[in-house]
Structure 1
Amino acid sequence: MNSDLTTPTAPAATTAPGSGPPANNLFPIFLKLENMRVLLVGGGNVGLEKLGAILRNSPATAVTVVAPHIRPELRELAARHPKVQLHQRPYQDSDLDGKDILFLATDDVALHRYIGSAAAARQLLTNVADTPELCDFYLSSVLQKGDLKIAISTNGKSPTIGKRLREVLAEVLPAELSNVLSQMTVIRSRLQGDFTQKVKSLNAVTAELANGPAYETPATTYWRRVATGALATFAFFIVLNILSYYFTWQQVWDVARSSGTFYTFVAVGFIAQLVDGMLGMGYGVVSAISLMSLGLSPVSVSASIHTAEMFASGASGYHHYRFGNVNKRLFRVLLLPGIAGSIGGAYLLSRFGEEYANYVKPLLAAYLLILGIRIISKAVRKQREKRRKVKNAGWLAGAGGFLDSFGGGGWGPLVTSTLITNGRTPRYVIGTVSLVEFFVTFASAFTFFAMKGLSHWQIVAGLIVGGVAAAPLAARLAGRLPTRWMFVGVGLMVIVWSLWALRKLL
């Protein structure tokens, strides 16, 4: 079993003496620590941390712990590992006999220097807590996905940075990587032919891993485009056939020739989707404010936005997925509860009327106003809060879907802002929530259409054209904007949405 005892990362490039800042010249290595004998001097908090790191990576390692005082938590940890021996007494030089690796984890600097000198004389590798200059090796921040282990080293400068990078990689790398490694082992064992043929076969199998998820062979790209074009053409004719039952070509031509009205709706849809795709929320807010200012009735605005948002969110979700902004695990958690909540909200609103939605909006708006202020305060602080696990994310998605249909909006502000407030990376939250939003709005629009029918198609058409045009630009910007400015944008959008919903009460 490979251990992550010493796994500093190798420098990207070495630096010649006198030509620049010193490089990280540590040599990365994974040790089979279970074949070695380890001495740990110290039984306090730091000693507990060191012992936990050792046993977490190599549970069967023989570790001898020596300390005048030993914490109860360390005793409990040692009790679960038979090869860990505890000696509650001061350090003795004889403790170094027969040992291969040494960890010093006390608060006595003089004792560390004394033991370090004795260990150097015996050529023992030594790690000294909080004293990089006395260390022969550093403990790294380790990310594990099954058989895959990634170790991060900051050359002893900042363990906190190493932990932050580990959190980022844990968010990006999928858990399925462990299955990939297992499958590659099977594939390698089944390859036939000489060495050259095996290399060609492995290149074909691993092309997507080497070039990224967007990589395709030319033949695959060709047939994918053919299939996509055929499906798009088929869908276009189906939609055209359905619309022909409701509208004539003369009506469509009259709208296109109208004095700027249609293009105004296109501009509203473009701006609304640009904001929503970048921040994960705001389509309903921007559209509603803009259309209301044009003198349209609230009923027309609500019906048009819910129908058009289905197309805009579909385009946005596709481009977020294409640019790698989607967390698949979070997507699975949010999808079904969001759809269920959306259908329930649309059904109740269609069945019992819109007057009940007015009781829900103020409560949501008050909650989001506080949340928006908190998000902005997080952005202006120099250090972000520790990431917290999002509990009951399914219930959150269900509530967001219900409020979006029943209250006229709220999916993005509620779900996106709550996840970001809990420390989730804004880029992946926005991309994932935008993709799920397509299915949520589709379920809502389908329910409304089944119970109320289609109306106000001129507004819908303009919003769709503008939203679809803005989707790829918004998705690309969501991955390029600095994280702090994305926090500010999300916070301001939440506050605007809250104040807009509270306008009647205020």
Structure 2
Amino acid sequence: MPAAAVIKEQNELFPVFLKLEHLRVLVVGGGNVGLEKLTALLQNSPTITIKVVAIQFNEAVLQLALNHDNISLVPKAFNPEDVAGSDIVIVAVNDREASRAISLEAKRQGKLVNVADTPDLCDFYLSSVVRKGNLKIAISTNGKSPTMAKRLKETFNEVLPDELDQVLDNLQQIRNRLKGDFASKVTQLNDITKVLVTSAPEKKKAAKKKQSVLFYAFLAVVFTLLGVVLSSFAPVQEVLVQAQEYGKSIDKLFYWMILAGFVAQMVDGALGMGYGVTSTTILMSLGVNLPAISGSIHTAEVFSSGASGYSHYKYGNVNKKLFKVLLIPGVIGAILGAYLLSVVGEEYGSSVRPFLASYTLVLGARIFYAAFRKTKARKKIKKAGWLAGAGGFLDSFGGGGWGPLVASTLISKGRTPRFVIGSVSITEFFVALASSLTFFVMLGLSHLHIILGLVIGGVIAAPIAARLAGKLPVKTMFIAVGSLVIIWSLRILLKAVGLF
């Protein structure tokens, strides 16, 4: 058959939004699949009337029925009489032959049927739904990949602003004030809203260009100020002389420093945490003393986290709203932690880390468990600013913890790992900068050859790691983040009791 004659497969489903509060729904099955269907129905239509028929119900379904008077549970095996009085039938039993029999009976009685994970028996599918107030977007993959529909839902939830509901309210008010017949109102509304379509690409392009200019300008100011501060402790002439000496005496150890920076940033950039743990482990194995490790890592992290943050921003991994919430508290916490550590001494900062490790060990286990859960309920993050402040403080005062504390807490609440990692990484630049400047003022600067090696390796790895964060499957990222947090926490706890 000629290529031009090939008929391309397409989705021929007709999207419809039902007023379920006026309909009666029968759900057959009281297990995990039934729970998933019940949850989806209630989330979209809380006042819906549902009858659930099953031989037995799991605890979650029983609890759901206790909390909702509009759900009635009928503990018995299905029979044809159960279909009577229902408008829609949803089959959620783990038995293909039984599902087929129930589906055929419901269709014989003229009911619309959905059978879980069996597209060929369905009259309709339950789509993934994106909801922003009054706006709802239903996503269908024609029954081929519910997983893809869920991933698109996560993306739309992150990208679409909450203010869309305000836009809808404003348009409704405008519509109510318009005069004329229906055709006239449509014409006027088209004229009012066409700017959203015709100028969107130009606005988006101009906004992106403006953001890039502002970002580069801001970086220039930041690094200029950093250079001024550094020059007050290490004059330019002295730095050049030391650089020449280092250039003449470069040995294999310097290349190991570059490797340490590269590996640490690959881990941190892809998973949102682990820079300090990874680089410390490598540098300790090379025989570098602890004071040199601590000062060098905080300094090098400014440059590597800056490159990482920009890369995540470039690849669209940053949630701007989350970034704004984390920024100021994180910086304030970092300054306070660095100042306090400079005053009281490093031994007090080390005493805090076991408590942090105990908390993150629990979070790591929760994240690892979440990777294998069928449903990951997304919870609202309360007091995220306080979380960022605590993370910044412990990162400076305890010698690490920004990523394990902040990123792991946000991910454990059901936030999409890609956007958490991107937002936490770009915020880490400002946290590390604030911490390092405070350390410079209080303690001065040293160990330039270690810093330089870590910076070179980190800057090389940053764009690669950021790209990887956007490509890894969500389940893989949950497993990787959870494992890293558990390892980091156990290492700190074992070290605290003298077993590491």
The TM-score normalised by the length of structure 2 is 0.69
3-state SS of paired residue (1:401): helix
Indicate the residue corresponding to 1:127 in structure 2: 113
Matched letter for residue 376 of structure 2:
R
Alpha-carbon distance change, 77 to 449 in structure 1, aligned in 2, over 3 angstroms: same
Query: In the aligned structure 1, how far is the partner of 2:406 from the partner of 2:80?
Result: 55
8 Å CA contact 2:270, 2:469 repeated in 1: yes
The reply on whether 1:348 has 2:337 as its aligned counterpart is no
Partners of 2:326 and 2:388 within 8 A in 1: yes
Match of 2:201 among 207, 214, 235: 207
Partner of 1:414: 405
Q: Determine which of 122, 125, 130 is the counterpart of 1:143.
A: 130
- Partners of 1:153 and 1:162 within 8 A in 2: no
- Once residues 168 and 159 of structure 2 are traced to their aligned partners in structure 1, the CA distance between those partners, rounded to angstroms, is 16
1:323 to partner: Cα distance: 1.0
TM-score, length basis structure 1: 0.68
- Aligned partner letter, 2:265: Q
State the superposition RMSD in angstroms: 5.2
Distance 2:192 2:435 in 1: 51
CA distance in 2, matches of 1:371, 1:195: 50
Counterpart amino acid of residue 159 in structure 2: L
Supply the AA of the counterpart residue of 2:199: V
Secondary structure of 1:287's match? helix
| CA drift at 1:447 | 3.3
Out of 172, 185, 202, the residue aligned to residue 158 of structure 2 is 172
Q: Who wins on radius of gyration, i.e. which is larger?
A: 1
What secondary structure is seen at the aligned counterpart in 1 of 2:205?
coil
**CA contact under 8 A between 1:273 and 1:312: conserved in structure 2?**
yes
Please list every run of 5 or more consecutive structure 1 residues that lacks an aligned counterpart in the other structure: 1-14, 81-89, 120-124, 210-214
Instruction: Quickly say closer, same or farther: Cα 1:389–1:345, change in 2 above 3 A.
Output: farther
Q: Confirm or deny that 1:251 pairs with 2:243.
A: no
Q: Give CA deviations for 1:191-232 in whole Å, capped at 9, x if unaligned.
A: xx99999998555531169xxxxx524xx7777776666666
| CA displacement 1:268-295 (0-9 Å, x = unmatched) | 4333323321221222123323444454
How far apart are 1:106 and its partner, in Å? 10
Match of 2:250 in 1: 260
Aligned match for 1:298, one of 279, 286, 290 = 290
For residues 443 and 41 of structure 2, the distance between their equivalents in structure 1, rounded to whole angstroms, comes to 63
* Cα pair 1:279 1:490 within 8 Å, conserved: yes
CA separation of 1:283 and 1:133: change in aligned 2, threshold 3 A: closer
Instruction: Please give the secondary structure, in 2, of the residue aligned with 1:138.
Output: coil
Q: Is the 8 A contact 2:279 2:297 kept in 1?
A: yes
Pair 1:436 & 2:431 matched: no
Give the whole-Å Cα distance in 2 for the aligned partners of 1:224 and 1:195: 31
Cα 1:106/1:54, change in 2 over 3 Å: closer
The amino acid across from 1:409 in the alignment is G
My pick for the range that moved more, 277-286 or 245-254, is 245-254
Q: CA 1:352–1:49 in structure 2 vs 1: closer, same or farther (change >3 Å)? A: closer
Which residue does 1:387 correspond to in 2? 376
Relative to 1, partners in 2 of residues 1:376 and 1:179: Cα closer, same or farther, differing over 3 Å?
Answer: closer
Rounded to whole Å, the distance in 2 between the matches of 1:245 and 1:302 is 21
How many Å apart are 1:408 and its aligned residue?
A: 0.9
1:447 aligns with 2:438: yes
- C-alpha distance in 2 between matches for 1:246 and 1:311: 19
1:361 aligned partner: 353
CA contact (8 A) 1:416 1:430 kept: yes
**1:293-312 superposed Cα distances (whole Å, 9 cap, x missing partner):** 45443223212222332232
Pairing partner for 1:471 from 431, 444, 462: 462
Q: Could you say which structure has the higher helix fraction? A: 2
User: Identity percentage over the alignment?
Assistant: 45
Structure 1 494/126 Cα, relative in aligned 2: closer, same or farther at 3 Å? Answer: closer
Equivalent-residue separation in structure 2 for 1:332 and 1:292 (angstroms): 35
Unaligned runs of 5+ in 2: 54-61, 72-78, 179-186
Residue 314 of structure 1 deviates from its aligned partner by 2.5
Contact kept? 1:273, 1:470, Cα under 8 Å: yes
CA contact (8 A) 1:104 1:128 kept: yes
Q: Distance in 2 between matches of 1:479 and 1:400?
A: 24
CA contact (8 A) 2:129 2:153 kept: no
The residue matched to 2:472 in structure 1 has which SS? Answer: coil
Which of 303, 306, 310 pairs up with 1:311? 303
Instruction: Pick closer, same or farther for the CA change 1:205–1:287 going to 2, 3 Å.
Output: same
Deviations 1:153-181 (A, max 9, x none): 4556787x488447634653344362585
The one-letter code matched in structure 1 to 2:113 is N
In 1, Cα distance between equivalents of 2:208 and 2:52: 63
